[in-house]
Structure 1
Amino acid sequence: MQDALWSLLIGTLLITMVLTGTILARLLLSGAMIYLCAGFALGPEWFGLITLDPLRHADVLEHVAGAALLISLFTVGLRMGVPLLDRRWIVPLRLAFVSMAITVGLVALAGVWGLRMPIGAAVLLGGILAPTDPVLASGIRTERGADPDRLRFSLAGEGSLNDGTAFPFVMLGLGLLGLHELGSANLRWVLIDLLWGTAGGLLIGAALGALIGRLVVYLRTRHRQAVGLDEFLALGLIAIAYGVAQLCLASGFLAVFAAGLALQRVEEQPSKGSASLGTSKEVHGHTYKALAAHSHHASAAMTRAVHGFNVQLEKLAELTLVLLIGAILAYTEPSALSWWFIPLFLVVLRPLAVTAGMIGGSSSLYQLAMISWFGIRGVGSVFYLMYAIRQGITSALAKQLTTITLITIVASIVVHGACRAPADETLGLSIA
């Protein structure tokens, strides 16, 4: 009976979202808002179909959140067609490294002075809340192509990079709590967690994405082999990039993002004497197999197919994770939450961090305001929260962090989701 009810509820939710997507946008609602409400209804408070206690089932929630993040990071990487050495990367890099680090510091100060946390717990809270989210931010995304909207590109790049750059600060917080080895004078943390974790993840992912992409294109164009099964290519590259990076003590999240970037930058390998089938509009009449094995179009066909599959997978990941977030809200303790913290974090600390990180840049006040506001929190914070719980933090701290993190995510889903439709109407007109 329970399986039938599950099937009915999920099926109804999916069909409803398909049929009412335009209406929801007009009502300033997002899909995540609906998923959140549905998840709460499926949780212990109502139907009781999802009863995952974050303290008891942190491993399950961590793995689900991690899988959703990997899918989204790879998808964003496939979408960002700007060359890696282009100056447009400066803004997302500053946001993901400088502004993110400042955010951790500001949250840690608020945690120590306002929430009466020990320094380790405060730094850990900063690391959990600092990353913006590529999954829930998918409604405000950069379009594919070599000349994307600057603001959308910056938001997408920040959300993809800082899920990896937040990891060292989570480990620093755990180290200050005695749950992670920081080394003498914090040297291990600086060299391994911070420097190698970041640089190694990007290098490993870029190398694997380029290598596997070129191999597939070579086999298709020269030997008519490895044609099709692009879904397996996507999942396989995600798994390999993440696994190799983790085994090398580097960031698996940054590796997967870099793999997506490198894959979509793989160049065509035209055979001598062959001719192109035409422009992108002219090739639509040809079959997938013809394009996938053609030396002038194989790379583009591969990227389009992998991207199309990952976009749909990303939507399912969003549905799954937000349902779970809604369900585990029943395990928060709002009475123990200092309600001033959430508006302080979203309205004051985030803009301060963005402004400080962008000092000396060329962004206008409008761009800074939009970037400051759309710092959406979500799946990345859930992952690091569950990771911290699994590392053995105390039950009291776990409950406090769970309440603060989940309520902050819910507030972000509601307020940022309500602003998404108006922003979509103005971003392209105001930012070139």
Structure 2
Amino acid sequence: MNSAGWFVLVGALMLAMGLTAPLMKRFAVTSAMLYLAVGLLVGPTGFGLFHFNPLEQSALLEVLTEVVVLISLFSAGVKMPVPVSLARWRAPVLLAFVSMTVTVVLVAGFGHYVLGLSLGAAVLLGAILAPTDPVLATEVQIRHAEDRDRLRFTLTCEAGMNDGSAFPFVMLGLGLLGLHDLGTFGQRWWLLDVLWATGAAVIVGGVAGWGLARMSLYVRRSGHHIELLNDFLGLGLIGLVYGICLWINAWGFLAVFFAAVVLRQTELKFAGAELERAPETPQLQVEPASARVSAGSLVFKEHLERLSELVLILLIGGMLFLDSWSWRATALALFLFTVARPLSVMVGLAGSRTPWRIRGLASWFGVRGIGSLYYLMYAIEHGIGEELAVELIHLTLVVVALSILVHGLSVKPMMRKFWRRSRE
């Protein structure tokens, strides 16, 4: 397909989505399902009008997915409800770290003993498929900053954190394949890839988010009526935090999410203090919510996220062949959806006060997507063998495609039933 064909295809899809958005809300169909269907139709599975080779274009695809995940993580972070509390955050933290670890172990066991992969390849596969997706799970994500739905908060917060918490297991898999130094008895992996990279990411993100909130408040209170470019500030925060983390070998995904969370929490804390002081000092002009960096940059980020989703899901359709749908890939997807995800959620939330209805829905809605694609490209770029790379490409793409279809078909009916019962 030439450039003209791509412009026509993407333009027609955007027009169709814009015109039929109200109609789509009535049916159990998501935008990702439609993009995937079109990609499969015009790709090698259908008419063969284009084929995107992820093995040859892994560097490009790694950058594209990296940028999309970063934007999505920032958007998720600034929509987190205020204030942060241990009681509210306990469930998503358990899901992002405990349940994610259990998922890696279960998928690695399936890959090693059922699919016949080496231990390193199986661990790498588990790490690729363990994180839930912050991009595609729009129907079960926080809709806006004032959304207080507990299920959506839990799933959004989990996806925001486990895209970073899965990274140590990616490095463990690469280490077992001889592509990363784990140290004696895994000492380097524990100290640097787990403890340092995770702790440093949280600190860098928190400090940067607080610092931007403080600086923007200072500029707005300076009395010069400066119009801040919130979109640039948000993107600048993403770039700065992620670049620092790459420089000091910390997990940038985790840092960007926490930077966005702290930015919003700090801004609203300052706004609350201003409102308390306003009656005593009427000369103080309290800025509206739309003037804050977190809220002001959110709309732009969400538009980028939607456009990125369209392009990347089309590319996924263009990577799949008919023979990609092997029993190995299908069996892996079924195991992940019906065994690994439910069991990991129940283990992670055991002993917590999370209602059983929320546990049940969280057990099902572990959507896999762009994050998994990024980790796959990251592994390919770090030198895994071509034979293993092709195997992981087929397995990952089929799992992501089936997740889009299966979770997409079930999300609207199940969520409507959940909200109806919640109101009763």
TM > 0.5: yes
Give the 3 Å change call, closer, same or farther, for CA 56–271 of structure 1 in structure 2: same
Partner residue, 1:213: 213
Amino acid at match of 1:355: M
- Offset at 1:250? 0.6
> Is residue 333–residue 399 contact of structure 1 (8 Å, CA) maintained in 2?
no
Aligned ranges 1:325-340 → 2 under 5 Å: 325-330=316-321, 333-335=324-326, 337-340=328-331
Q: Any idea what the Cα deviations from partners look like across 1:271-303, whole Å, max 9, x if unmatched?
A: 99855999xxxxxxxxxxxxxx94443686433
SS of residue in 2 equivalent to 1:136: coil
Aligned mates of 1:9, 1:315 — CA distance in 2: 16
TM-score (norm 1): 0.90
**Partner amino acid for 1:400?**
E
Unmatched 5+ residue regions in structure 2?
A: none
Residue of structure 1 equivalent to 2:378: 387
CA distance, structure 1, for counterparts of residue 289 and residue 337 of structure 2: 44
Within a 5 Å distance, the mapping from 1:136-155 to structure 2 comes to 136-145=136-145, 148-155=148-155
Distance of 1:319 and 1:307 partners within structure 2:
19
Query: d(CA) in 1 for partners of 2:144 and 2:71?
Result: 17
1:88 maps to what in 2? 88
Counterpart position of 1:64: 64
Give TM-score scaled by structure 2 length: 0.92
Given that 2:45 and 2:320 are in contact with CA atoms closer than 8 Å, whether structure 1 keeps it comes out as: no
Counterpart of 2:393 (choices 395, 402, 415) is 402
What is the match of residue 355 of structure 2?
A: 364
Residue type at the aligned position of 1:408? V
Separation of aligned partners in 2, 1:245 and 1:225: 34
Per-residue displacement from partner, 1:86-128 (whole Å, max 9, x unpaired)?
Answer: 4110000000000000000001111111011111010000000
CA separation in 1, counterparts of 2:322 and 2:56?
11
Could you say what secondary structure the match of 1:61 adopts?
Answer: helix
Match of 2:368 in 1: 377
- Write the mapping of 1:103-252 to structure 2, written as runs, cut at 5 A: 103-145=103-145, 148-224=148-224, 226-252=226-252
Identity between Structure 1 and Structure 2 (%)? 42
**CA contact 2:367–2:403 (8 Å) conserved in 1:** yes
Shift of 1:40: 2.8
Between 64-73 and 208-217, the greater mean CA deviation after superposition: 208-217
- CA–CA separation in structure 1 for the residues paired with 2:140 and 2:182: 37
Partner residue of 1:414?
Answer: 405
Q: How does 1:261-280 map to 2 (within 5 A)?
A: 261-265=261-265, 266=267, 267-268=270-271, 270=274, 274=278
Tell me the CA shift for residue 423 of structure 1: 3.1
Please give the alpha-carbon distance, in whole angstroms, between the structure 2 residues aligned to 1:238 and 1:294: 29
Check whether the contact 2:28–2:410 (CA below 8 A) recurs between aligned residues: yes
Letter in 1 for 2:373: V
Aligned-pair CA distance for 1:309: 1.6
2:302 matches 1:308: no
Q: Does 1:23 align with 2:23?
A: yes
Letter of the structure 2 residue corresponding to residue 234 of structure 1? G
> Alpha carbons of 1:331 and 1:324: their partners in 2 closer, same or farther (altered >3 Å)?
farther
Q: Distance in 2 between matches of 1:38 and 1:216?
A: 43
Q: In the superposition, relative to structure 1, how do residues 413 and 271 fare at CA in structure 2: closer, same or farther (>3 Å)?
A: closer
Aligned 8 A contact 1:346 1:373 in 2: yes
The alpha-carbon distance between structure 1 residues 297 and 337, as it changes in their structure 2 partners (threshold 3 A), is: same
Match in the other structure for 1:350: 341
What's the secondary structure of 1:412's corresponding residue? Answer: helix
Query: Which deviates the most, 141-150 or 312-321?
Result: 141-150
Q: Structure 1 regions of 5+ residues with no counterpart? A: 279-292
How far residue 326 of structure 1 moved from its aligned partner, in angstroms, is 1.4
- How far, CA to CA, are the matches of 1:152 and 1:419 in structure 2? 15
Cα distance in 2 for residues equivalent to 1:132 and 1:250:
20
3-state SS, counterpart of residue 228 of structure 2 = coil
Moved more, 420-429 or 341-350: 420-429
Rounded Cα–Cα distance in structure 1 between residues aligned with 2:312 and 2:157: 21
Instruction: Please state how far the C-alpha of 1:4 moved relative to its aligned partner.
Output: 2.7
Aligned residues: CA RMSD: 2.5
Given the alignment of the two structures, is residue 320 of structure 1 paired with residue 311 of structure 2, yes or no?
A: yes
